[in-house]
């Protein structure tokens, strides 16, 4: 997706100010309301942001790479659940053959956790929304990391 100059500037604002709120972007962008910010995000930057567990606006790793360049030294810091943290540890890397939900479940169980398959599926989808995991559609959905593990700094929240 090609972004306009304005969209790139606004995406850079998100990368620099994350995690941020609609109100902060409203002020920064000179908009009339938080609803206008939300509408802009959904129409112009949907692929490049997500909302964290506190509903704050964060840039995806793809957005950070787009703004900083592929050789960026910036490490993406994200707060994830313990299950999501384990999934990032055991999931196939960006260049590897992607894993099914069941294969990921087995890898998570081999790592010492015992989640339900629906919890793993949900965690994978959430990580995909964050831009950390890539969904590769085959006969069944399969997943792999969208970025290198070394480009992430995961803060596992207590649950």
* DSSP secondary structure letters along 31-96: -S-HHHHHHHHHHHSGGGEEE-TTS-EEE-HHHHHHHH-TT--PPEEEEE-HHHHHHHHHS--TTS
pLDDT, position 153: 86
pLDDT digits over 107-148, tens only?
999 999 999 999 999 999 999 988 899 999 877 889 999 988
Mean of pLDDT values over 48-57: 91
Indicate the pairing of strand 152-156 with strand 133-137.
Answer: unpaired
pLDDT digits over 80-100, tens only?
999 999 999 999 999 999 999
One domain, residues 32 and 85: no
The domain in which residue 134 lies consists of: 76-156
The count of domains in the chain is 2
The whole model's pTM is what?
0.75
One domain, residues 64 and 86: no
One domain, residues 80 and 115: yes
């Amino acid at each position: 997706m090609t972004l306009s100059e304005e969209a790139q500037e606004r995406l850079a604002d998100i990368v620099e100010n994350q995690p941020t709120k609609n109100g902060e972007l409203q002020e920064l962008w000179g908009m009339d309301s938080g609803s206008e910010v939300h509408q802009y995000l959904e129409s112009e930057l949907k692929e490049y942001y997500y909302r964290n567990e506190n509903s704050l606006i964060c840039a995806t790793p793809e957005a950070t790479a787009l703004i900083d360049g592929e050789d960026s030294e910036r490490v993406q810091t994200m707060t994830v659940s313990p299950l999501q943290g384990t999934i990032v540890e055991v999931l196939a890397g960006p260049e590897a053959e992607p894993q099914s939900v069941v294969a990921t479940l087995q890898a998570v169980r081999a790592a010492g956790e015992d989640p339900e398959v629906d919890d793993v599926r949900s965690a994978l989808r959430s990580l995909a929304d964050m831009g950390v995991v890539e969904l590769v559609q085959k006969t069944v959905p399969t997943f792999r990391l969208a970025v290198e593990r070394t480009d992430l700094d995961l803060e596992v929240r207590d649950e």
